[in-house]
Amino acid sequence: KVASDRGWLDPFPTDLIALLETNEHSHRPLFSALLASNNPNLDALILDIYQRFPSAHRYSMLRQIPRLAELVDDLSRGLWKPGRIVLGGYSVPPGLHIALQQGRAEALEELFTLIHHHEFNSGSNWNLASLVSSSILLPENLRKDRHNTQKVIAWAVQHTASDFGWDPVLRLFVPKSHPNTI
């Protein structure tokens, strides 16, 4: 914010743009700085970087910029297709996480398919638990333990996608018994 306020990011330095065009998680502050420049002339670059290196973190940041929210939603729809997720090792494809953030019911079905049919290891277990706790309104007694992988997975295996509906205000899947469920 300080760099933007002082005009240091206008125009945004080309060497920083070159760094952003690599898929390094350590460049999160640079992406934040690019967004903080609030320069509509950089929108095409921002969307190009997002499209080449999508992440749930970048998606949620871009959704907060009104002029980009609809564009990033449109770009994100093609990042994930149902039935194509195979958990190899420790990562969950960002497209699934983004689809869950968009409230796509088929993404929730895919998540529960993974939960019910996956042989768990510590890495994939953690990733699935993280997706559950960031996409579903957990019961009050589990919210304080949302980082406890075993408890979250144990709770999730007792449910299916049909137990939940999308709440556009909370931007979470909530139990169908929840009063705000649409």
pLDDT digits (tens, 9 = 90+) for 25-69: 556 777 787 888 788 888 988 898 888 888 888 898 999 999 999
CA 143 and chain centroid, separation: 19
Q: Distances from the Cα of 182 to the Cαs of 19, 63, 166, 169, 173, in angstroms?
A: 43, 22, 7, 10, 10
Structure tokens given for 81: 């297709």
Q: What percent of the chain has pLDDT over 70?
A: 73
What does the pLDDT read at residue 182?
47
What does the pLDDT read at residue 181?
46
- The reported pTM is 0.71
What does the pLDDT read at residue 21?
66
Three-state SS at 9? coil
Q: In terms of Cα–Cα distance, which of 104, 162, 151, 102 is closest to 128?
A: 151
Do 27 and 15 meet the contact criterion of CB atoms below 8 Å apart?
no
Q: Distance (Å, rounded) from C-alpha 47 to C-alpha 65? A: 12
Average pLDDT score, the chain: 80
Low-confidence ranges of the chain (pLDDT < 50): 181-182
